Structure 1
Amino acid sequence: MTREQERAKARRRHQKLEARAAERARIAARNRQVGIVVAAVLVVVLGLVFLTSALNSHSTPAVAASSAPASGAKPSPSASTGPTTLEGCATPPPRPTTIKTSKLPDKRTAAGKHFTAVVTTNCGRITLALDGAKAPQTVASFLALARSGYFAASPCHRLTTAGIFVLQCGDPLGGRGTGPGYSYGIENAPKDGKYPTGTLAMARTSDPHSNGDQFFIVYKDSTLPTDGGGYSIFGTVTGGMDIVDRIAAAGASGGTGDGAPNAPISILSVAVTEKKA
C-alpha cells in the first residue's frame, strides 16, 4: 500500500469517527429535549393529580393562593399552631363512630319554600337562610338530615385559608364518612364560579351526582372551578358569621392552608323552621 493510499484510508477512518461522534451528539441532544418534554408533562400530570385528589374527597378544590386576609378576620398563621379552644367556645363533643343512613328525601318537601336553620355549635349559633325555590333537592336533604339529628356532634373538619376560603362541615365522621346513604346532582351552581362571602353550598367529589351531607360556608369571596358543573348554592349565612371568621383566623392544621381547623368547632344541633309568606 502506498503512502497516498494509507493517508486516504486514515482520512476515511477519521471521517467515520467524526460521523459517529456527530451521531452521538445528535442523539444526546434529542434525549435532552425528550427529557425536558417528559419533565414538563410530569409537572402537568402531578398538578392534575393534586387537583383530582382534592375533588375526590368530598371537598372544594384548592385553587391559586391569595395573600389577602379573610374579611373581618386577621390573617391565618402560616404554620399550624395546634388545636386551641377559642374564648367563648366549649370543648366539642366526641364525634360519632357511625352514620345513620336513609333514603333520598322528596324534593317537593322544600320546592318553592324558604326556611331558617339555626345551627348550634360549641362556639355559638350560626343562622342560615335556606332557598328551596332555587335548590329544592338540596334543601330537602338538609332539612331531613337536620330533623333526624344526623348532624349532632359532627365536627367541621376542613378549613381552607389560601385560594378559596371555606369552612366545611356536615360529615359526622369528620371527613371520613361515605355519605348519608344517597346522593344527588347539582342545583343552582353559578356559571362564573363566584361564591360570595356568606354563601352556603354543597361539597362533592369530581362526580356531579355526589352531593350528600357535606356543605361549606364561604367566609371570604372565593372563585371555585366550574368543571363538572360547580357547587350547589342552597342558602346564605344570616347570623353568626363572626364565629366562622374567628375559626378562620385561628388557621388550619398542617401549615398548608388546607386542613382541620386549629380551633375545633362542632355542630351540636340544627333547628329548622319554614318561613311563611
Structure 2
Amino acid sequence: MLFASFASASAAGQDATANPRVVLETSKGAITIELYPDKAPKTVENFLQYIDSGHYNNTVFHRVIGPNPRQPQGFMIQGGGFAAGQPISEKATRAPIPNEADNGLRNERGTIAMARTSDPHSASAQFFINLSDNAFLNHTAKTQSGWGYAVFGKVVEGMDVVDQIARVQTGRAPARVSSGQTAPFDDVPVEPVVIRSARRAQ
C-alpha cells in the first residue's frame, strides 16, 4: 500500500541539478523511478543508500494487491524487505527514518512511497508503488493516525511492468521474519516476482 507538482528530468543529458533516477530490473521487466530529493531529502538519501549497497538485489515484491471490485487498477505492490527463496526471508535494515509525508506529495497512481508499521516514523527499506490514487494514505496531520505514508518519487518508465506485476496470482505463503520465526503472509505472489537488481540510472 497524479496532481502534485513534480519536477521532471530528461532521460538524456541530465545535469547536476536533475532528479536522480533508479532502475529496478525485475523478473517482469524494468521499472524506472524518478526521485524527488527536494521534497523528501532524508527518504531519498535512505533509498539510494539501500540501492548503492545492493540491498534490493534478489528481493521480491512480497505483497501485491491488484485489481479488485473496489479498485479496478489495484491498490499497490510492495517490496524491498524480503530476499527471494523458499520461504522468502526478511532482510536486516538500518535504523528507521523520519516520516516526510508532510512534503505535499500525494499517494497517487505511479508514485513510490515508504512502507511502515503503525509507528509513523518506522520506515526503513520497504517501499510500495501505488496502483491507484490512494488519498487515504496521504498526510493530514502530525498525529499517530494522520501522518500518512511518505511519497518520494514516481515511476517514469515501466508502468506497464508495474501493472503486469499487479495482475499476478497471489495467495498465502510462509515468510521468515527477523525473529527467525516463520509466519504466514497474505497477498504473496504465487510465482515470485523478483527484483533482480536495483541501480542508479546512467
Q: Provide the C-alpha distance between the structure 1 equivalents of 2:106 and 2:169, rounded to a whole number of angstroms.
A: 23
CA deviation after TM superposition for structure 1 residue 188, in Å: 3.4
User: Which is richer in strand?
Assistant: 2
Equivalent of residue 260 in structure 1, options 178, 188, 191: 188
CA deviation after TM superposition for structure 1 residue 264, in Å: 2.4
SS in 2 for 1:172: strand
Q: Per-residue CA shift, 1:5-57, capped at 9, x if unaligned? A: xxxxxxxxxxxxxxxxxxxxxxxxxxxxxxxxxxxxxxxxxxxxxxxxxxxxx
TM-score, normalising length: structure 2: 0.70
2:44 aligns with 139
CA deviation after TM superposition for structure 1 residue 127, in Å: 0.3
The gaps in structure 2 that reach 5 residues or longer are 2-16, 140-144, 173-185
**Aligned pairs, number:** 160
What letter corresponds to residue 159 of structure 1 in structure 2?
V
* 1:182 counterpart = 2:87: no
| Alignment check: 8 A CA contact 1:195 1:221 kept | yes
Q: Provide the C-alpha distance between the structure 1 equivalents of 2:194 and 2:134, rounded to a whole number of angstroms.
A: 23
User: Which is richer in helix?
Assistant: 1
CA deviation after TM superposition for structure 1 residue 178, in Å: 6.5
Q: Per-residue CA shift, 1:76-110, capped at 9, x if unaligned? A: xxxxxxxxxxxxxxxxxxxxxxxxxxxxxxxxxxx
| Alignment check: 8 A CA contact 1:189 1:233 kept | no
Query: What is the percent sequence identity of the aligned residues?
Result: 35
Moved over 4 A (4+): none
CA deviation after TM superposition for structure 1 residue 261, in Å: 2.2
Q: Where does 1:49-128 land on structure 2 (aligned, <5 Å)?
A: 60=1, 114-128=19-33
Equivalent of residue 120 in structure 2, options 208, 212, 232: 208
| Alignment check: 8 A CA contact 1:198 1:217 kept | yes
| Alignment check: 8 A CA contact 1:132 1:140 kept | yes
What letter corresponds to residue 187 of structure 1 in structure 2?
E
CA deviation after TM superposition for structure 1 residue 262, in Å: 3.6
Q: Per-residue CA shift, 1:194-247, capped at 9, x if unaligned? A: 521101000000111101000001122223345240001000001111111112
2:135 aligns with 223
Task: Report the structure number with the largest CA radius of gyration.
Answer: 1
1:167 aligns with 77
| Alignment check: 8 A CA contact 1:114 1:131 kept | yes
Give the superposed CA RMSD: 2.6
1:272 aligns with 200
Q: Provide the C-alpha distance between the structure 2 equivalents of 1:127 and 1:263, rounded to a whole number of angstroms.
A: 22
2:155 aligns with 237
Q: Provide the C-alpha distance between the structure 2 equivalents of 1:244 and 1:151, rounded to a whole number of angstroms.
A: 17
Distance 1:149 1:155, change over 3 A: same
SS in 1 for 2:101: coil
| Alignment check: 8 A CA contact 1:113 1:133 kept | no
Q: Provide the C-alpha distance between the structure 1 equivalents of 2:151 and 2:92, rounded to a whole number of angstroms.
A: 19
Q: Provide the C-alpha distance between the structure 1 equivalents of 2:106 and 2:45, rounded to a whole number of angstroms.
A: 24
Q: Provide the C-alpha distance between the structure 2 equivalents of 1:221 and 1:262, rounded to a whole number of angstroms.
A: 26
SS in 2 for 1:141: helix
Higher relative contact order (CA 8 A, sep 6+): 2
TM-score, normalising length: structure 1: 0.52
